[in-house]
Structures are given as structure tokens and as C-alpha cells.
Chain A
């Protein structure tokens, strides 16, 4: 049976089709999920894509977090369903308290789009099993509010528990604390990532294909589960 990976479309989601393409290229079946629909349509995992849901008005992710679909996503995430939040999706996960911390305005005060080098710090999560710890990859980064912040206690806890999934290398593009590009929850099934692996899945359109691993990882996770 094909693995079904849901991609949620909120009003203002932009990279939803890109995430669906990445899921397809990884060998799974992408399933479009609609923000008003509580039903997850028997998907095995969920991607919350990038974009500007609700225009990023009020606070990034703050309104989407209250959409009907998120009730079910939060419930299932707590039961262990793999959930990946990319960029705006990461912001939604923080607003939902599935992940700690918050994403604030870049320290440059500018939106930034660049090919970003990352180091995978934790290759044990549902979304990073196909990488090795310490592996360096390049994927696009594009955000205006991507600066990960949390208090020292939370940061120390994330570090101590190995919950920093990826870190910026060479350049910290947005002033994220401790160069953090992505984190996971304690169980390792929920991952939030500021850069965009779904834009690095084809040699034609991406700087590399090194983002595909996030999507193949979850397949392996689900098959082995």
C-alpha cells in the first residue's frame, strides 16, 4: 500500500504544491488537506507547508493554529503521527505548542532568499533518518521571520536532549539563537524546519537534491513502523 502524506493548504499557503511534488518524488502519495476540514483522510503523515497563511497578519501562524484541521493534526501528532512544518508550518507548530520557542523577524529586518548550508544534527527523527548526523546539505532558505528564539532553559534542554535537528553553517541568515534551523519534539515525530527542503528535490530547479531526504525519511519510518 502506498504511503499517504497529507499537505495542508491554509489560506495563504504558498509552497503546498511544492511539498506535494516532493512527497511524490520521494515515492509517496500526496494528499491535499483543506484547513476547514477536520478529517485527515487516512494519511500516515502530515506536512504543514511554507507560505504566508492569513497573510502573516497578527503573528505568523497564529491564526492557522486555530483552523479545524489543526485540532486533528495536534491530536494525531501527540499520538505519534509524523508531522513536518516547513517555514510557515514551523511557525504554526510553535504557535500550536507542539514545539517550543518562536520565530521572530530576521535580525537584518529583510526577507532573505538564499541557498543555505545546514548541518543535520539529529538523524534519528521521523524526518531525518535518511541523513547521517553531522551531514552537511544545501537547501534554499526564504523567510522574513525565521529567527528562532527561546529562553536559555529551553535552548539548553533542546541541546541536551539532541532536539536540534539542523543548524545553519557558514552564515546565520536571520540571527537564530545558537544557529538553530530546525528542532523536534521529545518523541522525534514532529519536526519544524525554517529552510525549504521541498525546493531542493530536483537538479533542474533546486541548488541540490539534498532536501529529498526529509521526505524519503518519513517513508522509511512509516514502512518500518
Chain B
């Protein structure tokens, strides 16, 4: 096996290289040659190809993503913004919180269990690398049709993978989403979110500065998993007789990750690192080039010192390996011994693999021979930028014109038909209870979970003395976004914002995971451009900056893309978690108020999907000022004890919210349709900016005064009462009937 050294590359300028198989375009390969002034070595080619991939370089999306920075609202709470492993937000009392949502879509379709498991592992290491203790995870998931046979293969594996990894890691899973739609049949979306907490002084950044400082690789040994496309290079250029294709999907070891967390936190506590980076996509290539690029530039690595699981690995493969549960730290020479000692305590393998130099090149040696010699910025931060063409799809107007009017879609005409529709929606896979899934996740571990699924948001106490806490909600409606990508992205933000406020927390910041089809399709690129513009504009109005996130493109099968699915996570802070507001109606006699305005808005609604299998028209109107006002009222009411339950209105409208709040609290409700309102619109419209709250009678006056003074429409629509949900003059449905319809649906289809 011949080694392609820098010297060799200089001497053989015309040797053929598999740049196309590695996914590089001809002009990209030419640019690499231009940067280096020679052909790249095999190892360099591997590094550039993976770091310049869509996944690592954001080459198609970055021209749009920069709006998140340009339009970022003034926000004193931001401590670290976009560009680091994750953003960091000040939540008061000296605490900082970091959170981020990421995708692991493609691996999870190929190998559901490991794909989903390593998705959790990756996002947790991102959070850890910021200096934070990870305290909770969440999983926004999208699957194909619930009754499709392949969903039975994909969903149980993904759920078991999330549970298997997260439970063993000891992080409570406090929320997320599960949505079924045939558009995700060949492209399930597995997004994973992690929240971490630290003190301000513990924030760490990914940079390698200080010549002479040591580069330490610690955690799992490096193996042949997750090498993906780079195996092309290994097999074609070097050793045609060796093991051919290596597995592209990584294999996770949550036990190793748990040790890595505890070990790293102890290392932080003793202030032993100058810079730190987790190893995720693109493995060592990414970690070394990013650390060097963000630092002073120079780094020297002895690649043959990397501990291996498989001794036949080539230098290219070691650089590319995405073996999980590894971290890379920059440590001052005087602190190396103590660093290694702590790793030994936790049975974590740690090896000095190189050092920061005073040069400006990343130099990688293999048994004394130079195989990589590059300016690290050109690998990590100066990848290609595409201005992909985009255009409003030809079919968009027709889709929007197909509105679900009463003449287009038959609506329930009487009480019996309304009841039937309510049960159908409540028992449809998207609206049914997800307990079968979420009961496979530990929501109790760490002992600080204040709210978890099926509450509107997940809430975690971060200080046991002061009761300071944070909450997170994730939302994203692909149907709305298909109808209008600009509005759809804003509605995703609005819903997550509302969910956080409904629990009593003040929304502070945003992380997003943008799941779309192929950027090479101008229709998809238009959806992406519109959605990012919409989200950036809405973040500006709501004062919640995007702190980081992830883009997942190429989610399509053949020519057919998924619904554009921006998943938006909102982080909120609550000064006293004992004031939180749950969704369940638990006290008989409390008064139900509907907050906000209800219009005839059924485009993209759950009702239109469940009853008519229809998607057309426009999504609900966005009114961000209203969302902000509603949020302020919900937060104030929670803080001052004016409401005992609150539930945001979204998919399935008021009907679905009442079903969920009744079942969660175990109490029925008597509801009156306000005069002049169409009962069907009242129950099933999905107008945004609304919530239903339960107000103790003693607080009614105060609550009404507050809403009146602030100009928020608040209509008294009923009372918590009895063992049934009664819509007066229309129908009565017992809690037992509701429970029958709402529970057991998912397991019947998928268990």
C-alpha cells in the first residue's frame, strides 16, 4: 500500500484522483489545486471533499442563512451567537443556557436505530463542547403514513434508538413532536435537540490558540464506521484488495458518551482546556481544521498516534471516520498530566496527538511523512458558496387557490356530525396520544423535570434553591409551509413561542432545523429562501434571535421533495418554576376563556387532512404582534396565579385543545358556542395567536381586567365540569369515549 505524501503529490501532478466520486465538482477540485499550488494528496482530497460537502459547508444555504445574523434583534441575553457549536443565552442568576436542534435524517432511514441514537449523541456533544452540562433532550420526528408498512420498520427502530441512547445517557426526554405524512415516506425526519446549563464563566469555545499547547483526542477509539463516501478513495486509490465499502452509518455507545460527559465536566471544573471541539460529521478532519482555523492557524498532528479499533485503517479513513463519542481538546502543556489523570479516573482513553504551532498551516504526519499540509481556513471556513437559482413553483398559485371553502369541502352540518369530526381528528395518528412512543423515554432522570410531553413545552428546573428554570418547545408544520413557505416558517416560530409562553416562561431565543428537498430544484430553493426570510423577519419582530441550528437538504425521493419542514425550537426562561402552567383541566368550576380571534381558517388544517385528505388554500394568518401580546398575558397570568391551566391552539383547533386538556386533567368541560359564531369554525379553525385557559373564579375579574386593559380579546366559553365534554346545543362526548378515540392509536398501527 503506497502512501500519498505531499512529496509524492508534488512529483505526480497528473495522477488521476476520484474527486467526482467524492462529490466534488470540477471547479471545486480545480480550486483545491489552486489553493495548494499542486494536486492534493489523497488525505487532503478526503478532507476538502467532506468539509466542502453540503452538510458541512452549507454551500447552498449560507447566502440565505446570513439573514439570521443581519436581521437579528437586539438581545442582551445573547452571550454566544451563530457559528460556534451552539448558541449561548443568559438566563439570569449567573446561569447561561445553550441549546441546539440538528437533523439526523438520512442515517435514520438507512439504519433507524443507530441513525437516531447517534443523532442524540452528536447533539449532546455539541452542547457539552460549549462547557455546559446537558440537562434534557427533545425529538421532533416526521414519518410517512402511519399505516404504511415501511413506517413499521422505521418508527419503532427510531424510537428505540432515541430511547436506547438517551435513557442510557441519563438525559430526560421532555418533548418534541411526532407527525405522520406520506410526503416523508422515503425521507423520515429525525431531528434532535439538547439543552445544556452552565455558569457564565464556564463557556468554552472551539479554538486552538497558544503555540506549544497540546492537542488531545479523548473518548472512544477510532474505527471504520461512518466513513461513507470516502471509502471510494480508500479502495480505489490505495488498496483494491482491502475491505471495500465500510458502513456509512455510525454506531453509538451511550455508556462511553456518559463517561465522556462526566469526565469532560470534571475537566472543565479544573479549568484544564484552552479550546474544545466535539467530533461529529467529518470526524478529525473537521475538528482539527476548525480548531486551527478559529485559533492562530497552525497545528501539527501525528495521525499514527490516534488509538484505533481497526489497525488496517488508512490515514484518509482515520481523518474521515465518524466514530462516535470522541472529543478533541487544546490543553496547555502544564495541564496535560492532570487532564490525562481525570480521563483515567473515568476509564476514558486520552492521547496527545499533536500540538498548536506558530505557523499558519495544518500539518498532518503519518509515521513521520507529511500527508496533509493546508491552510486550515480553506478547509473549514472558506468552502464554496452557491447562489442557487430559485423561482416560485408553477403549481403554487393553483395550490393556494384550492381553498377549503364550505363549497369545496363538506363541513359538519349538525351536532352529531361535529362530534363525529371531533372524534375522527382526536383519533387520527397526528392528533392521537403519543404516549406509546414517549413512554419509551425516561423523562424523570436528573430529577428536575417540571413539565414534559404531552405538555405544551418541556420545562427543567436549573436551580433547586431559587427555582429558576428554562423551557423549550419545538414546532413545525410542513403542510402550512407547503402552502406558503414564508408564513409557514413564521407559524412554526409563533407556535413554539406560544407553547413556551403557555407554560409560563418568557421566550428568549431560537434554534432551527431546516429540513428541505434538493437545493438543485429551483422550486425547493424558493421554498428555502422564503422560509428563511420569513423566519428571520419573524425573529426580528418577536425579539428572539436565531442562535444556531442546522440545515438538512436533499430530503427527497426521486423528483419528489418532502413538504418544506422548518422545525423551530424556542427557549424560554421562568424565574420560578413552581408558577408553571400545565395544560390539564384539573379543578371543577374553573372558567374557560378563549384568548385571541377566531376566523374561518382551515387551509392546511388537521380537519382538512383527516376528514378530506385535502391540502390547499392558505395557512392561518400570521400576526406576530398578537403573538407577543398573547405571550405576555399568558406569562403574567401564570406568574400571578390567574390561570391554573393553559393550552395553545394549533393543529385541530379548539376541539383538539379541549380534548387534550380534559383528558390530561381528568375533568370534563361545558362549552358554549359564542353568539354569531359558526360552531364548526369555532371548534376546528386553526387561527393562530390563540390559547384556551382555565381561570379560578376568584381571579376572573383580575384576569378580565388585564386582558381588557391590554386589548387582548378574551371570551368566556365555558366551565370545567363533569365527566364529559359538552358543546351546548351541539353534542356531548364522555371522557371515556374521548379516551378510547385518543389513546391506543399509535400502538395499534405500529406496535
A and B together in one complex: yes
Does B63 sit within 8 A of A, measured CB to CB? no
Closest to A206 in B: B444
Closest to A24 in B: B464
Return B257 CB to nearest CB of chain A, in Å: 10
Contacting residues, chain A, for B447 (C-beta < 8 A): 15, 17-18, 21, 198-199, 202, 205
Does B34 sit within 8 A of A, measured CB to CB? no
Say yes or no: A11 contacts B577, CB within 8 Å: no
Does A38 sit within 8 A of B, measured CB to CB? no
Partner among B256, B444, B446 whose Cβ is within 8 Å of the Cβ of A113: B444
Contacting residues, chain A, for B168 (C-beta < 8 A): 12, 14, 52, 55-56
Contacting residues, chain B, for A198 (C-beta < 8 A): 447
Segment 246-272 of B: residues with Cβ below 8 Å from A: 253-256, 258-259
Contacting residues, chain A, for B520 (C-beta < 8 A): none
Contacting residues, chain B, for A202 (C-beta < 8 A): 447
Say yes or no: A111 contacts B445, CB within 8 Å: no
Does A89 sit within 8 A of B, measured CB to CB? no
Closest to B345 in A: A36
Partner among A15, A17, A111 whose Cβ is within 8 Å of the Cβ of B440: A111
Taken together as a complex, chains A and B put the C-alpha atoms of A54 and B577 apart, in Å, by 34
Segment 409-466 of B: residues with Cβ below 8 Å from A: 439-450, 461, 464
Contacting residues, chain B, for A52 (C-beta < 8 A): 167-168, 170, 254-255, 258
Taken together as a complex, chains A and B put the C-alpha atoms of A4 and B347 apart, in Å, by 28
Does B346 sit within 8 A of A, measured CB to CB? yes
Contacting residues, chain B, for A14 (C-beta < 8 A): 168-170, 258, 445
Return B747 CB to nearest CB of chain A, in Å: 10
Taken together as a complex, chains A and B put the C-alpha atoms of A198 and B448 apart, in Å, by 12
Return B301 CB to nearest CB of chain A, in Å: 29
Contact (A140, B444) CB under 8 Å given A11-B347, A111-B163, A205-B461: yes
Taken together as a complex, chains A and B put the C-alpha atoms of A140 and B450 apart, in Å, by 14
Contacting residues, chain A, for B557 (C-beta < 8 A): none
Partner among B346, B439, B445, B449 whose Cβ is within 8 Å of the Cβ of A15: B445
Say yes or no: A199 contacts B444, CB within 8 Å: yes
1/0 per position for B130-168, CB-CB distance to A under 8 A?
000000000000000000000000000000100110011
Does A78 sit within 8 A of B, measured CB to CB? no
Segment 560-591 of B: residues with Cβ below 8 Å from A: 577-578
Taken together as a complex, chains A and B put the C-alpha atoms of A114 and B448 apart, in Å, by 16
Does A187 sit within 8 A of B, measured CB to CB? no
Closest to A50 in B: B445
Say yes or no: A204 contacts B255, CB within 8 Å: no
Say yes or no: A205 contacts B445, CB within 8 Å: no
Contacting residues, chain B, for A111 (C-beta < 8 A): 160, 163-164, 167, 440-442
Binding site for B on A (CB under 8 A): 11-12, 14-15, 17-18, 21, 50-52, 54-57, 110-114, 140, 142, 144, 196, 198-199, 202, 204-206
> Other CB < 8 Å A-B pairs besides A52-B167, A52-B254, 16 of them?
A11-B347, A12-B259, A15-B170, A17-B447, A18-B444, A18-B446, A51-B170, A56-B168, A57-B255, A111-B160, A111-B164, A111-B440, A113-B443, A196-B444, A205-B449, A205-B461
22 contacts between A and B (CB under 8 A): A11-B255, A15-B445, A15-B447, A52-B168, A52-B254, A52-B255, A54-B255, A55-B168, A55-B256, A111-B167, A113-B439, A113-B441, A113-B444, A142-B167, A196-B444, A204-B450, A204-B578, A205-B444, A205-B448, A205-B449, A205-B450, A206-B444
Binding site for A on B (CB under 8 A): 160, 163-164, 167-170, 253-256, 258-259, 346-347, 439-450, 461, 464, 577-578
